[in-house]
Amino acid sequence: MESLNKVQMLNTFLAKVKQLRGFGDMNSYFLASQFKGIDEKVKENEVNEIITEFSSPETFDEGKIHFINGINALLEDILHN
């Protein structure tokens, strides 16, 4: 049951990340900081890398993809364990 709740929460979180509009969207930093507390498997250096990628218009999209992939990896891990 706990894993079902976590999957639902991650799916909701993923939807918010997918809605990020682009460089300058302040929600990107807020969501990245929330990502740290979602699961013990989320490493601080991974979140810092995402935040760094969000800091430039040239790398924002790369950061968003990195962020989405990180959430999807957590979902896969939960669903397959």
pLDDT surpasses 80 at 2: no
pLDDT surpasses 80 at 64: yes
Burial code (b: 16+ CB inside 10 Å, e: under 16) for 14-32 equals: beebeebeebeeeebeebb
Which pLDDT band holds residue 80 (cuts at 50, 70, 90)? confident
First CA to last CA across the chain, in angstroms?
A: 13
Q: What is the pTM of this model?
A: 0.86
pLDDT tens figures, 5-60: 888 999 999 999 999 988 878 889 899 989 888 878 888 889 899 999 999 999 99
pLDDT surpasses 60 at 1: no
Distance (Å, rounded) from C-alpha 46 to C-alpha 9? Answer: 20
Cβ atoms within 10 Å, residue 69: 10
